[in-house]
A = this chain, B = another copy of it.
């Protein structure tokens, strides 16, 4: 079996072999401003977790991972396409410590290079061995459309104050979890894993994806800014409807709820004060504990799907250790 490091090396190699610089038939200069942003965003340090999941899932059943390289890269290109368009829609200036594409180039470049990336992801999917092509293509498209739905709900929730936990979980399932699930299932499909394993792999991905996202929500408030990588309290300052806020609004006393709502509407405030007030109300209502409990729930559900696989438990060690590493990235 391949180590996680070997897998990441193979993926980085694959990414650097992607060519985005061919001139069209009748001209000698390629449309540089179309392809340069694609190279730029792919060269930023990503965790490459999605293609790695495909490799790891595949590797549970088969050794020669050559056949999953192109579909796995498709997921990385697709993921970066979503970041590119989401950053434009959210007007985010920074991604992975670098200015975003619409800042370096322009909004139009971000739109068009994003479109080209999505098409390019499909070109990589098309290199799937033909026996699996239809199935992988359908899985990929369904997932891609779900991610658009997730982003749509996310944007709609910004303007709503009555988002409930069920809606929120469905939104993050669509926006985040399905792509991890798709990556894992793809690996299983390409390795001819039994149908039941494919489904368990998918559900492992969904539940681990939900756990990751809630972990992210939690770290935004309770993380260590030195290791979190983002500033603490970002979600609070932008009134993001996180799992924490939704639960706080449900559990808080009437005066606390009024306070949360009032602070969400304030246009001018001292950031530290808003963060302090929200955190105090979260503490008062044990929101940290509620969130940790929910994360634990998803994590255990994920693990039960993993143990439902037909592979020898010791083979799962790479997948489990990577998962745990990602779950405990605070430490």
Bound Cα distance from A123 to B115, whole angstroms: 16
CA distance A149 to B33 in the complex (A): 9
- Contact pick for A119, options B24, B26, B118, B151, CB 8 Å: B118
Instruction: Tell which of B34, B134, B153 touches A133, judged by Cβ atoms closer than 8 Å.
Output: B134
Q: At the interface, yes or no: A166 with Cβ under 8 Å from chain B?
A: yes
Chain B residues in 8 Å Cβ range of A89 = 108, 111-112
Consensus secondary structure, chain A interface: helix
- CB-based contact A137/B126 at 8 Å: yes
The yes or no answer to A273 lying at the interface (CB within 8 A) is: no
Question: A48 → chain B, closest Cβ, in Å?
Answer: 22
Q: Does A120 make an interface contact (CB < 8 A)?
A: yes
For residue A63, CB closer than 8 A to chain B, the reply is no
A31–B170 Cα gap in the complex (Å)?
12
- Beta-carbon contact of B119 and A148 below 8 Å: yes
A118 to B111 Cα, complex, angstroms: 13
CB distance from A26 to the nearest CB of B (A): 4
Chain A residues 24 to 62 lying within 8 A of chain B, measured CB to CB, are: 24-27, 31, 33-34
Residues B26 and A112 in contact, CB atoms below 8 Å apart = no
Query: Which of B34, B130, B138, B152 makes the CB contact (< 8 A) with A34?
Result: B152
Contact between B148 and A123, CB atoms less than 8 A apart: no
Q: How far is the CA of A26 from the CA of B123 in the complex (A)?
A: 31
Judge whether A119 and B138 touch: CB under 8 Å: no
Interface string of A112-126 (1 = CB under 8 A from B): 101110111011001
Q: What residues of B have a CB within 8 angstroms of the CB of A156 in the complex? A: 31, 33
Decide: B31 and A152 in contact? CB cutoff 8 A: yes
Instruction: Confirm or deny: A161 has a beta carbon within 8 angstroms of a beta carbon on chain B.
Output: no
Tell whether A235 is near chain B: CB-to-CB under 8 Å.
no
- With known contacts A27-B167, A27-B170, A170-B24, A34–B122 Cβ distance under 8 A: no
Q: How far is the CA of A118 from the CA of B114 in the complex (A)?
A: 11
The answer, yes or no, to whether A88 is at the interface (CB within 8 Å) is yes
- Does any Cβ of B come within 8 Å of A141's Cβ? yes
Query: Which B residues are in CB contact (< 8 Å) with A111?
Result: 85, 88-89, 111
Could you write out 27 A-B pairs with CB less than 8 Å apart?
A: A24-B170, A24-B174, A26-B166, A26-B170, A26-B173, A27-B166, A27-B170, A31-B152, A34-B148, A34-B149, A34-B152, A85-B112, A89-B111, A108-B155, A112-B151, A112-B152, A115-B148, A116-B145, A116-B149, A119-B148, A122-B141, A123-B138, A123-B142, A123-B145, A126-B134, A133-B133, A133-B134
Shortest beta-carbon contacts, A-B, top 5: A31-B152, A34-B152, A116-B148, A26-B170, A89-B108
* Residues of A in contact with B (beta carbons under 8 Å apart): 24-27, 31, 33-34, 85, 88-89, 108, 111-112, 114-116, 118-120, 122-123, 126, 130, 133-134, 137-138, 141-142, 144-146, 148-149, 151-153, 155-156, 166-167, 169-170, 173-174
